[in-house]
């Protein structure tokens, strides 16, 4: 979703203007955001910078929606880690993964679908409320293509893609190997060193890096770097 395309927003100036690309992964348990950007002053890419907000199982989803609606605070937390700034919101491009994967409506519970959509809508509505306009909703197949291309000619089963995303992210970026997530009585939490529980999935921040990479590619192609 976007009011204007990245191409339409390309600035015909020299040097290439600074820009920031963000990727956002939203679930009922967390919002993970990664940011990367072109710093025209230093003429180099900065980032990625990472930020995650995580909720426990006992927090009502209205409270989670309230947090999600304060989107500017979450974006600022990620962008501040880049240690440079752009001229304005028109130079910030934000990709948000759609609330659920293609085809899941046929097998998912309606209550979960409703809440997941409300979480995503709260965040995007917050972005628009604060003045961000370069907002894009993308499906997971769009950014999964980046990961799959990295591992070609290997074929990656869909059930293994999240683990391959983590492997890709650790190779592609200088980011920490965060603990995998386990299911606990408090919801999904990073696995403690003393736990023997089987991990359910990698940290959500790796998905955010994949979404960010899609947005970064769009910005590099349409705005550029030097």
- Rounded to 5°, angle at Cα 85 from 83 and 87: 175
Model confidence band, residue 186 (pLDDT cutoffs 50, 70, 90): confident
State how many domains the chain has.
Answer: 1
Quick check: is 72 in a domain? yes
Quick check: is 2 in a domain? no
176: CATH: 3.30.420.10
Quick check: is 36 in a domain? yes
Quick check: is 189 in a domain? yes
Quick check: is 44 in a domain? yes
Quick check: is 203 in a domain? yes
What are the pLDDT digits (tens) for 140-183? 999 999 999 999 988 999 889 999 999 999 999 999 999 999 98
Quick check: is 201 in a domain? yes
Quick check: is 1 in a domain? no
What are the pLDDT digits (tens) for 30-43? 999 999 999 999 99
């Amino acid at each position: 979703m976007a009011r204007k395309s990245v191409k339409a927003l390309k600035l015909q100036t020299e040097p290439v203007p600074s820009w920031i690309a963000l990727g956002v992964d939203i679930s009922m348990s967390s919002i993970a955001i990664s940011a990367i950007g072109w710093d025209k002053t230093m003429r180099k890419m900065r980032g990625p910078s990472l930020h995650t907000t995580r909720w426990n199982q006992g927090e009502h989803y209205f409270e989670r929606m309230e947090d999600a609606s304060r989107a500017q605070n979450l974006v600022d937390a990620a962008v501040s880690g880049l240690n440079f700034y752009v001229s304005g919101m028109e130079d910030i491009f934000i990709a948000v993964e759609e609330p659920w994967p293609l085809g899941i409506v046929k097998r998912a519970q309606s209550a979960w679908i409703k809440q997941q959509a409300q979480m995503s809508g709260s965040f995007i509505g917050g972005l628009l409320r604060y003045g961000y306009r370069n907002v894009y909703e993308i499906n997971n197949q769009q950014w999964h293509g980046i990961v799959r291309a990295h591992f070609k000619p290997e074929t990656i089963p869909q059930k293994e893609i999240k683990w391959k995303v983590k492997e890709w992210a650790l190779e592609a970026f200088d980011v920490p190997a965060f603990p995998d997530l386990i299911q606990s009585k408090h919801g999904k939490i990073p696995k403690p060193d003393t736990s023997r529980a089987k991990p359910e999935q990698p940290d959500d921040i790796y998905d955010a890096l994949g979404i960010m990479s899609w947005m970064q590619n769009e910005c590099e192609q349409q705005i550029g770097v030097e």
